[in-house]
């Protein structure tokens, strides 16, 4: 890790890169828009020169559906946050925020207080790259926490988290990088923090099947599914952030229900393809579907 050019932010950059690529698509066909993503991506100017079509084609060579998986995850959460804010959520806690710019790129009500949680090193780098006059910065509080070693409760309360306000939490693209114990503790902590109010929790998780029966995580006819699964896991390990935790659907359901959460949605790219990509003429064929993670929404 110390020799890596990615100092704890390799995967955060990886996701920002896909958001940058999507932002380069025509406004009529893009699924999300992140005008700040280029600030966080090594080689952003080359990607801009290559443009949307060529960059997506290159990503497809690496793994068909990989780009669309990440972009549908971003859009799914964008929709969830806008909906939650409009129906009265007063706080939004972004767990493992990385280079997520949702706080600034979505048109959110100023009544929504946002807490961005991540490792200090990643947060410091992020803050140094944000424009000084970025929208909605007065509503964002940075909270540095290492989920493996620090208490989320202590840090959030010290940062002004209000236990009486209805809150939405998202753990996007993080559960695979941290221990199961850290995920369990985090869910226990957020359940305790919101005992007096309503809470919504989003978690993405990688299915245990990716190790035991990788073909089950891909659409029918997907080329070299098992090999692709290994490549993606290997790449993440290479930038110093190996995937260490995989879950079954039952495990996630049990963990959430034990802490008073009921699952209201459990989606994958296969489900979101027709919702997001079909209306703009970008339906992914079955043999390019990559259900890398599940997207789960649960309510207390
Ligand atoms: C793949 S990135 C996802 C970032 C962001 N949620 C997104 O989707 O763009 C994983 C994030 O988890 C954070 N992370 C990994 N291990 C962590 C830990 N032990 N404590 C806090 N954050 C951690 C990383 O710093 C990184 O920002």
Per-residue pLDDT of the chain (300 residues; tens, 9 = 90+): 444 445 678 889 999 999 999 999 999 999 999 999 999 999 999 999 999 999 999 999 989 999 999 999 999 999 999 999 999 999 999 999 999 999 999 999 999 999 999 999 999 999 999 999 999 999 999 999 998 888 899 999 999 999 999 999 999 999 999 999 999 999 999 999 999 999 999 999 999 999 999 999 999 999 999 999 999 899 888 878 899 999 999 999 999 999 999 999 999 999 999 999 999 999 999 999 999 999 999 999
Residue 165, in any domain of the structure: yes
CA of 202 to the centre of ligand 1 (A): 14
Nearest alpha carbon, ligand 1 atom 11: 96
Domain containing 77 equals 64-299
Residue 9, in any domain of the structure: no
Ligand 1 lined by 173 (C-beta under 6 Å)? yes
- pLDDT of 295 reads 98
Distance CA 211, CA 79 (A): 31
The phi, psi pair for 165, rounded to 5°, reads: -100, 140
Distance CA 271, CA 71 (A): 13
Residue 59, in any domain of the structure: no
Ligand 1 lined by 93 (C-beta under 6 Å)? no
Ligand 1 lined by 147 (C-beta under 6 Å)? yes
Task: Answer whether 0.85 is exceeded by the pTM.
Answer: yes
User: Which of 12, 181, 204 is the best mutation target for the ligand 1 pocket, counting ligand atoms within 8 Å of the beta carbon and taking the most?
Assistant: 12
- pLDDT of 2 reads 41
CA of 8 to the centre of ligand 1 (A): 9
Residue 79, in any domain of the structure: yes
CA of 220 to the centre of ligand 1 (A): 31
Is there a contact between 194 and 163 (Cβ–Cβ < 8 Å)? yes
- pLDDT of 9 reads 83
Is there a contact between 102 and 33 (Cβ–Cβ < 8 Å)? no
Residue 18, in any domain of the structure: no
CA of 119 to the centre of ligand 1 (A): 8
Distance CA 211, CA 205 (A): 13
CA of 280 to the centre of ligand 1 (A): 30
Number of domains in the chain: 1
Q: Which atom in ligand 1 lies closest to the alpha carbon of residue 170? A: 6
264's tokens: 């209201």
Residue 54, in any domain of the structure: no
Residue 95, in any domain of the structure: yes
Could you read off the pLDDT of 100-159 as tens digits, one per residue?
A: 999 999 999 999 999 999 999 999 999 999 999 999 999 999 999 998 888 899 999 999
- pLDDT of 148 reads 84
Distance CA 229, CA 211 (A): 8
User: Which of 75, 76, 118, 169 is the best mutation target for the ligand 1 pocket, counting ligand atoms within 8 Å of the beta carbon and taking the most?
Assistant: 118
CA of 28 to the centre of ligand 1 (A): 30
- pLDDT of 294 reads 98
Q: Which phi-psi region, left, alpha or beta, contains residue 240 (left: φ > 0; alpha: ψ -120 to 50)?
A: left
Ligand 1 lined by 293 (C-beta under 6 Å)? no
Burial class (CB in 10 A: 0-12, 13-18, 19+), 28: exposed
76's tokens: 């799914």
Residue 15, in any domain of the structure: no
- pLDDT of 238 reads 85
Nearest alpha carbon, ligand 1 atom 20: 146
CA of 173 to the centre of ligand 1 (A): 7
CATH assignment at residue 146: 3.40.50.150
What is the biggest distance separating any 2 CA atoms in the chain, rounded to whole angstroms? 51
């Amino acid at each position: 890790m110390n020799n890596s050019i990615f100092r704890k932010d390799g995967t955060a950059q990886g996701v920002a890169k896909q958001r940058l690529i999507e932002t380069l698509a025509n406004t009529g066909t893009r699924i999300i828009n992140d005008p700040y993503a280029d600030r966080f991506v090594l080689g952003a100017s080359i990607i801009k020169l290559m443009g949307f079509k060529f960059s997506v084609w290159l990503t497809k060579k690496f793994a068909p559906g990989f780009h669309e998986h990440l972009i549908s995850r971003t859009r799914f959460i964008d929709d969830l946050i806008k909906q939650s804010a409009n129906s009265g959520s007063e706080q939004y806690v972004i767990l493992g925020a990385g280079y997520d710019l949702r706080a600034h790129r979505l048109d959110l009500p100023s009544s929504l207080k946002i807490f961005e949680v991540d490792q200090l090193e990643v947060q410091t780098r992020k803050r140094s790259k944000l424009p000084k006059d970025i929208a909605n910065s007065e509503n964002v509080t940075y909270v540095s926490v290492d989920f493996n070693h620090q208490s989320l409760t202590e840090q959030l309360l010290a940062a002004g988290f209000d236990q009486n306000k209805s809150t939405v939490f998202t753990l996007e693209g993080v559960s695979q990088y941290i221990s199961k114990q850290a995920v369990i503790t985090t869910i226990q902590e957020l359940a305790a923090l919101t005992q007096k109010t309503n809470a919504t929790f989003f978690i993405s998780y990688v299915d245990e099947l990716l190790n035991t029966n990788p073909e089950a995580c891909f659409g029918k006819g997907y080329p070299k599914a098992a090999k692709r699964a290994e490549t993606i896991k290997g790449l993440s390990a290479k930038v110093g952030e190996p995937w260490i935790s995989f879950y079954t659907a039952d495990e996630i359901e049990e963990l959430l229900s034990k802490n008073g959460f009921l699952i209201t949605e459990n989606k994958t790219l296969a489900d979101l393809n027709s919702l997001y990509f079909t209306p703009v003429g970008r339906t992914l064929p079955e043999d390019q579907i990559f259900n890398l993670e599940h997207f789960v929404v649960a309510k207390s």
